[in-house]
């Protein structure tokens, strides 16, 4: 068990930190205020390999581990959790394409997505199917050499501004076994995008509903086999839960660093805040809990990399822990800043708003508890969950 980063991981960490410092941090507040989606900057991240970190190297990805990816995503999220989170979602969709598409389809789409020259959205949630994803109603009916796709998706990150959609749809009967996954061109005839949602946070990425009105999709764009879509979606979400947990760790680290700096700068009652023991204790607790969350996330990533039989459970545990702790660290850092933390001149309120949604998406933290509890209550569960 080695808790130290190796030489390659340290190099990726430094490259991501430099990119975050130079390209994300100076613009993050403006993107948030304007609701601007920085596709050009995401393409720059793609040029560094950050848009296909764990995608198959045969199709333009770097082929890194999920553990390696957490190191990069954390650094990006410390500067702009919203943009970093979209990059993680794009990575998840890119991995699905390079892992499950036919070779000719992966050869066409993979390099474009992995380079960041094209962007992808992940389309699972529907207006009536959130936590109960297996009840989704979007259908894909086989018609010759095409599927005819009809239905709607909700809360889709990047929708209306991306090039490809990974869509979970029903090709068979009810339940998870009837779900398949399709790669759909985002500008295909019959696709309609809803209004851009006005959100509390994550404002540097658009969120819209998508309607599919008899959209024809080539059969060749099926990912995996018919009926494997739900399994593919859950495999994607295991990594997605690690990714979003990492974004919470990054956001919290950004907030903690700001709080450390502020405690030296701000003076009250004739001395710096750093001299007040109550605030020292608060800072110590924040740092301790953040380190614990980071190690939990990296443990889950390692479990997923090594195909541990309970990897999905560890991913759920990490997502629950890190997103709860991440939000609380941001909240406490804002409290240390007092009134200044509440104004937009400082990054605290933005980090807080961006981190809040992490407790909801990629499966709510209540669902994460369900996943862990169900596994623990299975026979012999204590032999592996420890």
pLDDT > 90? residue 221: yes
How far apart CA 57 and CA 106 sit, in angstroms, is 11
pLDDT > 70? residue 383: no
- Please tell me the total number of residues recorded for the chain in this structure: 386
How far apart CA 56 and CA 34 sit, in angstroms, is 35
How far apart CA 76 and CA 189 sit, in angstroms, is 35
Instruction: Kindly state the average pLDDT of the residues 294-318.
Output: 96
pLDDT at residue 321, rounded to an integer = 98
pLDDT > 70? residue 171: yes
How far apart CA 200 and CA 334 sit, in angstroms, is 17
pLDDT at residue 130, rounded to an integer = 83
Mark whether 362 is an active-site residue.
yes
pLDDT at residue 380, rounded to an integer = 66
Tens digits of residue pLDDT in 227-265? 999 999 999 999 999 999 999 999 999 999 999 999 999
Tens digits of residue pLDDT in 346-358? 999 999 999 999 9
pLDDT at residue 382, rounded to an integer = 62
How far apart CA 150 and CA 90 sit, in angstroms, is 23
Element (H, E) at 337: helix 311-337
Instruction: Kindly state the average pLDDT of the residues 107-122.
Output: 97
Instruction: Kindly state the average pLDDT of the residues 294-302.
Output: 97
Instruction: Kindly state the average pLDDT of the residues 147-166.
Output: 98
**Does residue 68 contact residue 53 with C-beta atoms inside 8 Å?**
yes
Q: How many CB atoms lie within 10 A of CB 198?
A: 8
**Which residue is catalytic, options 4, 349, 362, 383?**
362
pLDDT at residue 129, rounded to an integer = 87
Handedness of CA 179, 185, 190, 191 (dihedral sign): positive
Tens digits of residue pLDDT in 7-57? 999 999 999 999 999 999 999 999 999 999 999 999 999 999 999 999 999
pLDDT at residue 2, rounded to an integer = 81
pLDDT > 90? residue 182: yes
**Does residue 230 contact residue 133 with C-beta atoms inside 8 Å?**
yes
Handedness of CA 338, 318, 56, 98 (dihedral sign): negative
pLDDT interval class at 302 (50, 70, 90): very high
Secondary structure letter of residue 195 according to DSSP: P
Structure token digits, residue 87:
């990059």
Helices (H), 103-216: 103-114
């Amino acid at each position: 068990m080695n808790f130290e980063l190796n030489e390659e991981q340290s190099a990726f960490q430094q490259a991501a930190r430099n990119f975050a410092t130079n390209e994300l941090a100076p613009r993050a507040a403006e993107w948030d205020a304007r609701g601007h989606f920085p596709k050009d900057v995401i393409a720059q991240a793609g040029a560094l390999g950050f848009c296909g970190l764990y995608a198959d190297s045969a199709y333009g990805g770097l082929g890194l581990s999920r553990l390696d990816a957490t190191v990069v995503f954390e650094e990006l999220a410390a500067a702009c959790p919203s943009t970093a989170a979209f990059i993680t979602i794009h990575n998840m969709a890119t991995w699905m394409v390079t892992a499950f598409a036919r070779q000719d389809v992966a050869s066409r789409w993979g390099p474009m997505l992995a380079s960041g020259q094209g962007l992808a959205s992940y389309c699972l949630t529907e207006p009536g199917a959130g936590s109960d994803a297996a009840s989704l109603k979007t259908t894909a009916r086989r018609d010759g050499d095409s599927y005819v796709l009809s239905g709607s998706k909700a809360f889709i990150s990047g929708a209306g501004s991306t090039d490809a959609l990974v869509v979970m749809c029903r090709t068979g009967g009810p339940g998870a076994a009837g779900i398949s996954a399709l790669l759909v061109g985002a500008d295909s005839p019959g696709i309609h995008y809803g209004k851009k949602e006005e959100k509390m946070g994550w404002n540097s990425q658009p969120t819209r509903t998508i309607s599919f009105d008899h959209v024809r999709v080539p059969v060749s764009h099926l990912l995996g086999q018919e009926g494997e879509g739900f399994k593919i979606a859950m495999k994607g979400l295991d990594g997605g839960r690690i990714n979003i947990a990492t974004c919470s760790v990054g956001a919290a680290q950004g907030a903690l660093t700001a709080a450390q700096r502020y405690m030296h700068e701000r003076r009250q009652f004739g001395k710096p805040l750093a001299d007040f023991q109550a605030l020292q204790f608060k800072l110590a607790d924040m740092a301790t809990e953040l380190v614990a969350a980071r190690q939990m996330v990296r443990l889950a990533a390692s479990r997923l990399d090594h195909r541990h039989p309970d990897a999905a459970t560890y991913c759920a545990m990490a997502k629950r822990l890190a997103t709860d702790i991440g939000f609380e660290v941001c909240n406490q850092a804002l409290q240390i800043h007092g009134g200044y933390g509440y104004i937009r001149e400082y990054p605290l309120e933005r980090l807080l708003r961006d981190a809040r949604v992490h407790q909801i998406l990629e499966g709510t933290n209540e669902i994460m508890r369900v996943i862990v509890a169900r596994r623990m209550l299975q026979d012999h569960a204590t032999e592996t969950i420890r």
